Structure 1
Amino acid sequence: MRYSTFAVMAAIVAASGCVSVLPEPTTPEALYRLDAASPQALPATVMIREPEAPQIMAGRAMVREDLTGAMRLVPDIEWAGRATRLMQLALVDSFQGGEGGAVLPESGVGASYEFSVRLTTLGFVGDRAVCEGTATLLDTRTRELVHQDRIERDRAAPDSDPRDLKAVSEDCVADFADMLVTAISSK
């Protein structure tokens, strides 16, 4: 009898390990990526760093901030990757031709300039889709500040439609790319 009680207890413990108490992860209804701006020639080689952003904005989830300042994740909709990485890749893809080019830090290529962005807002704020950030261009040899500018883009998004956030994010990428070309060309 003692052996059968032990066997039953072992079977119960083993079976309980097969039952998950965690909810099944939901599959998003849609994934969004960022497309590059119209390609421009770059007069020098520039290292494009991944933008810095608060962790809640830098991930895959799309974020909505209500009028009280509370941040919530937009359900069932996500970026196709980390939002900051998508923005970095879209920036790199915004350049072709010219005497230089845009490179990723992990490429190991030496660059004349380093471009970084600090995003302060990337998401829905009230009934608007918003992308805001400060872009900085440094001379990699001297570490001197070449140019710094703030980019702010927004558009009406009364229904928090992710297509509006995608569009405003792509507008931000285009503005960052334009700023970069102008700053290097005027140096």
Structure 2
Amino acid sequence: MTSEDEDTLTKKMSQMSFSQARDLKAPGKEETVSHPVGRGPEFVRAAFNTEGKSPLVSHFLRMKGLTYDAGQLIWMQRVEIDKLPEIDATTYRDVIGESSKTIRKIKKNFTDMYKSNLRHSHKFMQEQQEILREHMRKQSALLANKKEVKRLSDLIIMEQRKSEDSVSAGADLAVEAALMAQD
């Protein structure tokens, strides 16, 4: 579409009524209307005098051949809109949009927290594996020393044979000290 065509279209749209211009809009650019959250419009049933001052009703009745009989009023029941919802009330589209934003935010926070926990868990596992390797190295070094193994074995056997009243031989402390002394 050239700029000349656009200018012509703009002039035509400015001269038309709003409803005609709305019908002329491009089909893909229709604005979707969303209902306000909460109660909709409130309706009231009302009695309507067909012989009132409305020229439109009088014309309609005359065209249908429904004439007025003297002394007789014709009342019809009709439904009127009593109260419309507020214009600036939040709509379902707004609520859904906010919910979607909140869901995306929660999902992002969860993903970030999950990744952070994975990193901390991986770091903790590496530290534990390093501690285990160091312990296994010290244990192997201790078991390679035959004299120290013999001394610790004797302490453990003495600990098992002692009576309940006697003083502990300290086998557990000796084994721990021997492991710590290994480098």
On whether the aligned pair clears a TM of 0.5, the verdict is no
**Shorter-chain TM-score: which interval?**
under 0.3
Larger RCO (alpha carbons 8 Å, 6+ apart): 1
Greater strand content: 1
- TM-score of the superposition, structure 1-length normalised? 0.18
Greater helix content: 2
- TM-score of the superposition, structure 2-length normalised? 0.18
